[in-house]
A and B are shown apart, each in its own frame.
Chain A
């Protein structure tokens, strides 16, 4: 959690919750004196004066707290990646919708800001794609060449001799639904992303930021790829490491390439049979910039969370399309871990004919935690 998490336009901060009393104290020190501190998120959910919760925990907690918050009648602002597994994502979608809640994932590049190193926002590309200027099917390359860093420094250590749990940390609660493993400081706080039990390395950290806009561009908000394959060094069962390449393919032939070693030095960010778009809106289509300017905008969806909550309107990046973008991340994680090509059914959201992969779709939780 960072200091920016203490300020929200259109709402007032009432409570903060952390299983590390040191972190909790640090937050309370800079928050309004009226703000209350908690160790157990369920006590926050008990408060009837709280409308919205922001889930800023490591990803292995996202789904559990989201579902509990939805059942407690709270609206939800959830950090990326939305959920650690595909199965957890399905549960969040159901719970949020069933209970009539407003949900947003905290990434925004589909509707605002320059899209990382691409040097331009997503909207003009969306217009070009939607009006067929590039043709169909499309191939998107997310790599250093097109402006995206896969952050392999989020790697775990393969040897963690147990160390005493610091008194300020409730490690049991921190682990929550994750399997018990002896404490080592590298598992928690600023380095947890390097472990499969809690996240998924750079894929977990950046995947939704990078891939949600791609899903939007390809018009795949309601579906998932049918194939995924990965190349890279073997992954440790506990610690995430680097990988070289992941390829996701949709039923209609659209492809997403995650190029971890920036191998395709000539890669366009997005290309179809009729044209390509590179960084900084460079393209092989003459006059693309002007052509795109004259095209109609895509339908706009609510981009102001406080307003969406007040008006009970579904946020632009919500539980449903958020789950589908997070599924891209989770598919890539599983392919990288298994190292074999996989087929996926976007309707049942299970792998076809691969039991090991399906065991990673729904990973059992440690009691007493369950949905």
Chain B
């Protein structure tokens, strides 16, 4: 199954590639000029490998290098494009995009035309439509007049006409319309709609005659495109085609025909045919009277107003006769453009003869016009029996006159219903406090119930402590809506001296939402006492005098009041015989804001640890960890506190809390603690999250560094589900490895640093240098056929040979990520020798990682640690002398075992050699390969 079978297969393949390579060399070595021709491709490869640029400056300098290679260089990059079904060409796409942006920089016209010329040449040579489409896109980005002709050639191509037209519309070279018209054949052509629409967009007058036949096509898409083109061009000779809006079959089509007719009218107006445009607007206003044509009337009125300016006022005023509120609203919106007292007078004069809803709309509009002469009319509305008018008047008056109108609004509080009160409240809240508060206080006694509730809200919003008495009194009001709002407002108006009364009210309250309001108010009042140690006094006194539920109600706010005396008072309650009191006391303590509660919480967690219910342990630990992480101290100090908690935590949810806390303590020691839980299946997801939070940079923190951090993060990344997040963690871990002296063996882009496999070490040793060189060239050709780089991953197609590092390595550490499919089979050769085993754990339950070819020493992995096939695995290998250690996915699977020499059984393993990714007839995937040599 393993090596022997592969040996014969290998030599067979070797012969084949050898023959092939000779032929290939024969072709290449003929012309003497080949070397010169090769230099641009080599340079291009070198530049491409540096894409994508990591900053705008780098983008510019890389693009400048591309331009340094001239037209030939740009064309060579274009040649590297590939249809997406074939290969990953993203580097070439990055490079062409960058070059296009560089070419289009202001003042870069010379470079731009060079770029466009190269792209056009490449476009003519490219066989694939997807590649052509991308190149057309580059002309859309950076093309100019020179692109018109080459793009025009694509207009009859079914697939490319569309991108070509889009590029042409972006470029807008002179005579583009002529090119489009030339391509416009008859209605059977597949690109007719595309071309017609584009001709319409360009407003080509010359096109009219050619378009007219299409405007009556049987094909709906063609007809609509033709009609759109005619409308947008706006030639008076085509009014007949555009005016027939009644023949449409559905309301929407009729409306869209009308919209087209109006577009036509707008173009007529722009072309100086004001009277025709005006006539069309009028006719549509008269004709489109149906309930489904509101938008057509609005659009006609809009254009009519644009045409007539101030003279449209009569039409706008007349629109108020319409029963359609949307049409009236449009007219009123348009009227905002016509200022002046004269207009105001006309609007007011119109109001007696129209519907109340229309009058309401006029009032609102007048509120938005900066003409104070309307104020008298608006304030008349305040007295209206019609509520909608009254509310509109309140809003309009406040908007137009500001707090000057407060005195006129005040009487309305007396009779206000809920909606009036809401409008009045909004109005008064928009006035300065020094006007609003005295006015509403003055009105309070005579106000309606709804008004009282609103006034109390205003006092709360404005924090009117000097009127706390009103709110306090209202807190005992029989009316529920008044009482509720008063209770909610209390926290904003209570004073220090109200504390006793807050306690009394709280002791009398029964309804949960009222209790919460009063607890907030009680805390707000106590917090105003200057001496922090006196804040809790009254509450503690009351607490000791109370029993049952009332005692609980007083307990909760203590966490917000705090102080030396409050803490022991609550701690005492955690010993209560009443389970409910005890529960609330622990909860209150867990919410404590001062660090000194931490010790008590830990004590509770320890004591409760022995009891049956772990609810209190959980609560206490949660509060404890919060206080510890918020504690202003060194990381070591915090970790010592957390270790105490770790000794108590047992259940996953308890450990989760601790992991949360550890994530917020950014130190290597904290990370090591977290790492322990990465191997616990119930906790590894959470542990991974915490490891990321602990180690990665965040605002104000540069991130943890070092080999250990990298190793732990690489392990943690295996438990991060979201692809993007995982990649960020891997990226950071690999950057750390590089800082620690690791070198990437694989650059994620191409096969630089790798070579094909030539036979085996003894066979290679027997070859002459010349033979080896030839064989190596053949093997490299074979390598390029079967090993590809796709999306940052080395992909083997399952049909070629092993992939070898270009260099030899003696003692080293190596990270490598790998993935196989079902029945997949591979391995990592060290010093050119087989192998650290990789195979399908479904077939081989012992799992991967073992030194498969050992005859004397251990050949199997210590334990199975594979991920299911199809998922990524991580190896960490260390080779020192003859001994090898292997970690698979964080588990030790080979522990410092001697690796035997497969090729020459009587000898120890070679002192150095290439590292190989073993091919074994199944598709394979490798990435993130980092090595550090040990010297």
Partner-B contacts on A (CB < 8 A): 42, 45-46, 48, 68, 70-73, 97-101, 143-145, 152-153, 155, 157-162, 179-182, 184, 230-238, 241, 262, 265, 290, 293-300, 311-314, 338-340, 353-356, 359, 363-368, 370
Contacts and interface: CB of A to CB of B under 8 A. Distances in A.
Nearest to A335: B56
A152 B325 contact: no
A368 to B, nearest CB: 5
Interface stretch (B425-433, B703-711, B874-882): B425-433
Contacts of A157: 791
A337 B689 CA distance: 32
A145 B97 contact: no
Contact of A297 (B59, B162, B429, B722): B429
Given A72-B255, A155-B724, A233 B436 contact: no
B798 interface: no
A344 to B, nearest CB: 14
A182 B130 contact: yes
Given A73-B293, A296-B436, A368-B224, A363 B170 contact: yes
Nearest to A300: B426
B298 A367 contact: no
Contact of B252 (A46, A180, A297, A370): A46
Interface stretch (B84-92, B443-451, B639-647, B918-926): B84-92
A99 B295 contact: yes
A356 B115 CA distance: 14
20 contacts: A99-B299, A100-B333, A144-B698, A153-B723, A158-B791, A159-B88, A180-B159, A182-B84, A232-B56, A234-B51, A234-B53, A262-B698, A265-B700, A293-B462, A295-B432, A356-B100, A359-B141, A359-B170, A367-B197, A368-B225
B699 A145 contact: yes
A231 B101 contact: no
A71 B259 contact: yes
Interface residues of B, number: 95
B329 A100 contact: yes
8 nearest interchain CB pairs?
A100-B298, A153-B724, A100-B330, A339-B56, A312-B329, A356-B104, A158-B90, A99-B295
B725 interface: yes
A312 B430 contact: no
A99 B262 CA distance: 11
Contacts of B51: 234
Contacts of A181: 133
A144 B699 contact: yes
A153 B52 contact: no
B106 A46 contact: no
A228 to B, nearest CB: 13
A313 to B, nearest CB: 7
B892 interface: no
A221 B364 CA distance: 21
Interface in B302-354: 302-303, 325-330, 333
B901 interface: no
Contacts of A367: 162, 165, 193-194, 197-198, 225
A48 B251 contact: yes
Contacts of A363: 166, 170
Contacts of A314: 333
A73 B225 contact: no
A231 B431 contact: no
A167 B94 CA distance: 33
Contacts of B328: 312
A370 B228 contact: yes
Interface in B233-261: 250-253, 255-256, 259
B298 A159 contact: no
A143 B170 CA distance: 35
B142 A356 contact: yes
Contact of B298 (A98, A180, A233, A359): A98
Given A46-B251, A162-B84, A233 B433 contact: no
A55 B296 CA distance: 22
B897 interface: no
Contacts of A162: 84-85
B657 to A, nearest CB: 22
A18 to B, nearest CB: 19
Given A45-B252, A293-B461, A238 B699 contact: no
Among B163, B255, B432, residue most surrounded by chain A Cβ atoms (within 10 Å): B255
B54 interface: yes
B840 to A, nearest CB: 25
Among B105, B170, B296, B403, residue most surrounded by chain A Cβ atoms (within 10 Å): B170
Contacts of B159: 180
Contact of A231 (B55, B163, B259): B55
B169 interface: yes
A68 B256 CA distance: 8
A155 B159 CA distance: 28
Given A234-B52, A364-B169, A368-B225, A312 B325 contact: yes
Contacts of A312: 325-326, 328-329, 361
Nearest to B253: A46
Among A99, A160, A184, A311, residue most surrounded by chain B Cβ atoms (within 10 Å): A99
B668 to A, nearest CB: 22
Contacts of B225: 367-368
B101 A364 contact: no
B137 interface: yes
A368 B193 contact: yes
B98 interface: yes
B93 A237 contact: yes
B123 to A, nearest CB: 16
Contacts of B169: 364
Contacts of B664: none
Given A101-B295, A161-B85, A355-B104, A234 B462 contact: no
Interface in B78-137: 84-85, 88-90, 93-94, 96-98, 100-101, 104-106, 130, 133-134, 137
Given A152-B724, A359-B140, 18 more contacts: A46-B250, A72-B295, A101-B326, A153-B724, A158-B94, A159-B89, A179-B162, A236-B90, A236-B93, A237-B96, A241-B52, A265-B699, A293-B461, A312-B325, A312-B326, A312-B328, A340-B105, A356-B100
Interface in B343-373: 361, 364
A308 B933 CA distance: 71
Among A179, A293, A296, residue most surrounded by chain B Cβ atoms (within 10 Å): A296
A266 to B, nearest CB: 8
A234 B142 contact: no
A42 B252 contact: yes
